[in-house]
Amino acid sequence: MVESIFKRLQEIYPEMVNFRRELHMYPELSHQEENTPKKIADFLSQLGLEVRVGVGGRGVVAILRGGKPGKTVGLRADFDALPIQEENDVDYKSRIPGVMHACGHDIHTAALLGVAKALAEVKETIAGNIVFIHQFAEEVIPGGAKPMIEDGCLDGVDVIYGAHVSSIHPVGTIGVKEGATMAAGDTFEIDIFGKGGHAATPHLTIDPIVIGSQIIVNLQQIVGRKVDPIKSAVVSVAAFNSGIGFNVIPDKAKITGTVRTFDEDVRDMIESLIGEMVESTCKGSGATATYKYVRGYPAVKNHPEETKRIEKIANHLFGQANVKQLDPQMGMEDFAYYLQKVPGTFFFVGGNSDLVEKYPHHNPKFDVDERSMLDIGKLFVSAVFDYLSNEVIEESELIET
């Protein structure tokens, strides 16, 4: 079964390429996706699947009901683009000024549609159901995952898989990681209110620049002296704004920054520590302050059993040497929300080759080898059969390129 579906995926591959290039030429920004979800829904409807649009806002969810009873697998792809002017010289270059698929979400979408087509053709033989989750707005906070879950996209789903193409890793390789894989990302804002005055008479003022500087220095102790060294975190001040001229001590200052963590207890501790440091520093200097901590996406925590399943499948498909154990990354992904609800795993599929130049994600020259779509497709299809029917791919002859 798996073998014949791989053959179908190969035959469907040119269609995936066309769909990907169409998306690439007409990218749409997060929360502004209109034609993208329409195109996705049209494609899925033509396959005879039950399609729901406007899920949680702009999401598209399709259900494939297998011919036999069984469990339900969720597969997720995101479809938003970025506010970047494309600099690639390719015939499928973005036609929309200042908007570009510079993270590969066009690849994810087209790969998942190919999987939907291949599986829809054999639905009578499938023991269980498959839910295709096409998510809007992954690149911004708040993203699309949370509202889509609230709107029922995970109802009845027993397990979920998601993949991200990687321009850093070569095509034909995969990166997996159990447990905390991507960080929780939060932001903070501290407004300090002192008392302005002449810079020549500082004793008559309450200087928010000096107080702000003390706070920034104190914040450096959090990671260095408060977080368990076995755990990890980032506390970065990214902006410190105050003042207007050489002879005026201003009356206020503003500090903003980001916090990245993998553990909820570390996250909670840092949130309250920053507040305590702001309060105590201001207290000693006569200033007042407001402190705002805004939580972004939680950490992506891959479930061990499902990560092992993908690893096992990848070993068979790509060979053990091409399956890498990844280090945790400080980047964010709202796939985290799905994993808070159901078991699953989020993995990385190599997209770099001689066919494309090597640029990082979110770069104006980002591009990936489209064969990565076939790899994502094979991994998803294999995960579905492995999970639903315990149909393990054992034979090495199944490894195709």
Give the list of residues 6+ apart from residue 255 with CB closer than 8 angstroms, or none. Answer: 188, 189, 190, 192, 212, 215, 216, 237, 239, 240
Nearer to Ni ion, 126 or 171 (CB): 171
Is residue 28 annotated as part of the catalytic site, yes or no? no
The 8-class DSSP code of residue 329 comes to B
Nearer to Ni ion, 32 or 290 (CB): 32
Instruction: Report, in this order, helix, strand and coil percent for the chain, each rounded to 5.
Output: 35, 30, 35
CB of 97 to Ni ion, least distance (A): 21
> Which H helix or E strand runs over 256?
strand 252-261
Q: What is the DSSP string of 187-236?
A: EEEEEEE-B-EETT-GGGSB-HHHHHHHHHHHHHHIIIIIS-TTS-EEEE
Q: Residue 31 carries which side chain, given as an amino acid letter? A: H
What is the sign of the dihedral through the CA atoms of 118, 121, 126 and 128?
positive
Nearer to Ni ion, 55 or 107 (CB): 107
Is residue 367 annotated as part of the catalytic site, yes or no? no
CB of 78 to Ni ion, least distance (A): 7
Contact by Cβ (8 Å): 288, 158 = no
Least Cα distance to 158 among 347, 327, 388 occurs for 388
CB of 45 to Ni ion, least distance (A): 26
Nearer to Ni ion, 188 or 366 (CB): 366
CB of 187 to Ni ion, least distance (A): 19
Nearer to Ni ion, 132 or 366 (CB): 366
CB of 351 to Ni ion, least distance (A): 12
Which one from 86, 138, 311, 334 is the annotated catalytic residue? 138
Tell me the residue nearest to Ni ion as measured from the CB.
Answer: 103
> Which H helix or E strand runs over 114?
helix 105-121
Q: What is the DSSP string of 24-39?
A: HHS--BTT--SHHHHH
Q: How far apart are CA 180 and CA 395, in angstroms?
A: 32
CB of 58 to Ni ion, least distance (A): 17
Nearer to Ni ion, 166 or 205 (CB): 166
Which one from 28, 33, 78, 80 is the annotated catalytic residue? 80
Residue 339: CB atoms within 10 A of its CB come to 23
CB of 325 to Ni ion, least distance (A): 21
Give the list of residues 6+ apart from residue 332 with CB closer than 8 angstroms, or none. Answer: 141, 182, 183, 184, 185, 260, 296, 297
Nearer to Ni ion, 139 or 158 (CB): 139
Nearer to Ni ion, 103 or 113 (CB): 103
- Residue that is written with structure tokens 């985290």 in the block: 336
Contact by Cβ (8 Å): 190, 278 = yes
The 8-class DSSP code of residue 6 comes to H
CB of 106 to Ni ion, least distance (A): 11
Interface residues toward Ni ion, by CB under 5 A: 103
Least Cα distance to 164 among 352, 353, 350, 363 occurs for 350
Burial (CB < 10 A; 0-12, 13-18, 19+), residue 201, is exposed
Q: Which residues are catalytic?
A: 80, 138
